[in-house]
């Protein structure tokens, strides 16, 4: 484990994730400017010493907007993972813990519904939720989270069924420990590790999904900076001002790759 953490790619990923966390929680430390303020005379300046990521069509500093937009993108992605993990984890926990004929029937019906949920593309489900609740990053987070809930339910149910057959669980039940106590003290803690590893991996997917839907114009509305919206704003200038799309997009890619790498090191590969 320690050797994997000390690999250059892992250290680089940790540095990128740490920088992304600073961007989201304390953007003024590395970009003290106003992301909404622009200077018309500085419009569409190429990246340079004065403007690290260049400027947009309104003369706003793109680097400042990317840094200050990290909060909306990362907070929405984190909220999506929490929604998916809590909803899906609860469903999987209940289905895996049910016993008896009635329990098997409930488990069958609920898991078939989960199969249908998994079959629906997550982006489509998120768009349906956004169309119902209105535009905004938190509507996107809810939609993306519900789209991921089916996968969380599958993993949690499988782990609960595995742990439920362990000898120490059966011994606790034989000694008369209440079913809820067995579930909370013995089954749930030992079934959580793969679910937590999956949550770390899903964070990268959620960042991409949130940015994609924001790119389509359903996220934070102008002039609020958001990573997907920043990429969308630059597409009309791709031939003359490539930095408006390429540099925010590169930030998204780097953060997603870094999060996925760290998740695999500390979760899946452990």
The fraction of the chain above a pLDDT of 90, given in percent, is 51
Enclosing H/E stretch for 217? none
Locate 96 and state its tokens: 């895996």
What is the spatial distance between Cα 192 and Cα 202, in angstroms, rounded to a whole number?
15
- Is residue 270 pLDDT above 50, yes or no? no
Q: Is residue 95 part of a domain?
A: yes
State yes or no: pLDDT of 182 exceeds 50: yes
Cis peptide before 9 (omega within 30 of 0): no
**Comparing 72 with 188, which gets the higher pLDDT?**
72
Show the CA angle centred on residue 153, arms to residues 258 and 112, nearest 5°: 135
Residues 137 and 76: beta-carbon distance below 8 Å: yes
Domain that holds residue 200: 61-238
Which CATH number fits the domain that encloses residue 147?
Answer: 1.10.3720.10
What pTM did the predictor assign?
Answer: 0.88
- The answer to whether position 45 is within a domain reads no
Model confidence band, residue 22 (pLDDT cutoffs 50, 70, 90): very high
Task: Please report whether residue 94 resides in a domain.
Answer: yes
In a domain, 12, yes or no: no
**52 inside domain:** no
pLDDT at 269: 47
Segment 99-119 shows an average pLDDT of 89
- Find where tokens 């989201």 sit: 24
Residue 251 falls inside a structural domain: no
- Listed residue (52, 79, 76, 85) closest to 66, CA to CA: 52
More confident residue, 217 or 184: 217
Is position 2 within any domain? no
Q: Is the pLDDT reported for residue 129 higher than 70? A: yes
Number of domains comprising the chain:
1
> Looking at the domain assignment, is residue 266 inside a domain?
no
**Across the chain, what does the average pLDDT equal?**
88
Q: Let me know how long the chain is.
A: 270
Residue owning tokens 């452990």: 270
């Amino acid at each position: 484990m320690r050797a994997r953490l000390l690999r250059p790619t892992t250290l680089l990923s940790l540095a990128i994730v740490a920088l992304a966390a600073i961007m989201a929680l304390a953007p003024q430390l590395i970009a003290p400017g106003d992301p909404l303020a622009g200077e018309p005379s500085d419009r569409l300046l190429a990246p340079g010493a004065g403007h690290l990521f260049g400027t947009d069509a309104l003369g706003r500093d793109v680097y400042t907007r990317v840094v200050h937009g990290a909060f909306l993108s990362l907070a929405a992605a984190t909220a999506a993972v929490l929604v998916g993990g809590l909803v899906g984890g609860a469903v999987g926990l209940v289905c895996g813990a049910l016993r008896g004929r009635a329990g098997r029937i409930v488990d069958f019906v609920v898991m078939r519904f989960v199969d249908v949920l998994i079959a629906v593309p997550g982006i489509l489900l998120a768009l349906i939720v956004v169309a119902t609740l209105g535009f905004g990053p938190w509507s996107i987070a809810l939609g993306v989270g519900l789209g991921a809930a089916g996968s969380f339910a599958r993993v949690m149910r499988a782990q609960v069924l595995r742990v439920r057959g362990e000898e120490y669980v059966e011994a606790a039940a034989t000694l008369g420990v209440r079913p809820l106590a067995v579930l909370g003290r013995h089954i749930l803690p030992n079934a959580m590790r793969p679910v937590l590893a999956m949550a770390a991996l899903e964070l990268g997917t959620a960042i991409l999904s949130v940015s994609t839907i924001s790119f389509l114009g359903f996220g934070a509305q102008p002039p609020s900076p958001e990573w997907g919206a920043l990429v969308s704003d630059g597409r009309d200038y791709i031939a003359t001002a490539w930095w408006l799309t390429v540099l925010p997009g590169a930030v998204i890619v780097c953060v997603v790759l870094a999060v996925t790498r760290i998740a695999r090191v500390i979760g899946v590969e452990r």
